[in-house]
């Protein structure tokens, strides 16, 4: 499934910020929101990709604002400025998707503490910093949605992914804390836990021989990997009024991977 053809009428005119929006899952969500009539802000460190995406989306969705901010999610002040500026220009900040993330696949005995800190800084502190900045704007509106992209590896673990798994499990926990704190302000906070999704990143790891996609497919009860469209569709649902009573949840989209205790490929 791609993000083409996904519709969610009540999102028209909403203002949606997506971190890590320049490629992969983030880009698929940006495109899905834009194609459903949303104004979008992409926050990413890749300035060249941001420019490319802004050009093609502005041409495709001329009625909407397509903004970009070339900043890291870990830079609290820069992120707050970018979100405030977007909210001012479009009239609101309705949805923040905390998607930017990095990984470090290294045996724990060899993982140096600086690399550990980098992953925690982007995947966890970045989520907190962006959510806090968005939450402050949404509190004044009395409404908003924060959607954190965790991982199935926030629910189950895997060898050689200490910082990644720990950061994603912490994001799941943070999601619940913020949901409970901010419910009274009309702000819903949920997380998505994707399993393996066929992105360019996964394909390039497979091409380098670092992952075997057929093994991953056999390990998955559904027999297939996730698509960016699966995640984009879920993001639209969790951002829309259709999920108005859902908050503090981690929705795992993994074809049954985490449900399968045997997991023999
Ligand atoms: N692809 C998968 O199979 C999969 C599975 C589970 C969870 N996830 C999660 O989904 C999210 C997106 O994954 P992806 O596969 O699309 O990754 P990706 O590497 O293709 O894209 C990540 C984007 O985030 C940006 N980014 C990195 N560091 C940043 C920072 N400090 N500030 C702002 N932007 C930054 C990158 O420039 C890039 O555009 C991540 O949080 C990842 O952990 C992915």
Domains by residue range for the chain, with CATH = 11-253 (3.40.50.720)
Confirm or reject: Cβ of 127 under 6 Å from ligand 1: no
In angstroms, the Cα distances linking 108 to 115, 119, 159, 217, 255 are 11, 13, 8, 26, 28
Active-site annotation holder among 33, 86, 164, 257 = 164
- What crossing angle do the helices spanning 162-182 and 113-120 adopt, rounded to 10°? 30
- Give every CB contact of residue 57 below 8 A, 6+ residues apart in sequence: 30, 31, 34, 40, 66
Q: Per-residue pLDDT tens for 71-114?
A: 999 999 999 999 999 999 999 999 999 999 999 999 999 999 99
Contact at 8 Å (CB) between 135 and 179?
no
**Interval 124-158: pLDDT, tens:** 999 999 999 999 999 999 999 999 999 999 999 99
In short, whether 44's Cβ falls inside 6 Å of ligand 1 is yes
d(CA 104, CA 90): 37
Q: How confident is the model at residue 256 (pLDDT cuts 50, 70, 90)?
A: very high
- Determine if ligand 1 sits within 6 Å of the CB of residue 213: no
Note if 164 is an active site residue: yes
Q: Which percentage of the chain shows pLDDT scores above 70?
A: 98
Give the mean pLDDT of the chain.
96
Residue 200 has pLDDT above 80, yes or no: yes
Atom in ligand 1 nearest the alpha carbon of residue 196:
3
Average pLDDT over residues 62-79: 98
230 lines ligand 1 (CB under 6 A): no
Atom 24, ligand 1: which residue's CA is nearest? 20
Region 119-125: mean pLDDT is 98
pLDDT score at 4:
66
Per-residue model confidence (pLDDT) at position 2: 52
């Amino acid at each position: 499934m791609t993000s083409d053809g996904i519709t969610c009428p009540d999102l028209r005119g909403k203002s949606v910020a997506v971190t890590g929006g320049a490629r992969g899952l983030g880009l698929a969500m940006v495109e899905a929101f834009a194609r459903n009539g949303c104004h979008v802000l992409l926050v990413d460190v890749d300035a060249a990709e941001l420019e490319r995406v802004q050009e093609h989306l502005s041409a495709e969705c001329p009625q909407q604002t397509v903004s970009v901010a070339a900043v890291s999610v870990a830079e609290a002040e820069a992120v707050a400025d970018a979100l405030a500026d977007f909210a001012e220009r479009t009239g609101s900040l309705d949805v923040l998707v905390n998607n930017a993330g990095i990984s470090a696949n290294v045996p724990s005995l060899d993982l140096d503490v600086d690399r550990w800190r980098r992953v925690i800084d982007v995947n966890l502190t970045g989520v907190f910093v962006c959510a806090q900045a968005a939450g402050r704007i949404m509190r004044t509106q009395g409404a908003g949605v924060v959607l954190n992209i965790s991982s199935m590896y926030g629910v189950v673990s895997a060898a050689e992914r200490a910082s990644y798994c720990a950061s994603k499990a912490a994001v799941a926990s943070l999601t619940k804390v913020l949901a409970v704190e901010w419910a009274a302000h009309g702000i819903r906070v949920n997380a998505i836990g994707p399993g393996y999704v066929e992105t360019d990143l996964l394909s390039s790891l497979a091409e380098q021989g670092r992952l075997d996609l057929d093994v991953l497919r056999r390990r998955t009860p559904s027999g297939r990997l996730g698509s960016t469209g699966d995640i984009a569709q879920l993001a639209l649902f969790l951002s829309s009024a259709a999920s108005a009573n859902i908050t503090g949840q981690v929705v795992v989209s993994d074809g049954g991977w985490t449900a399968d205790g045997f997991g023999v490929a």
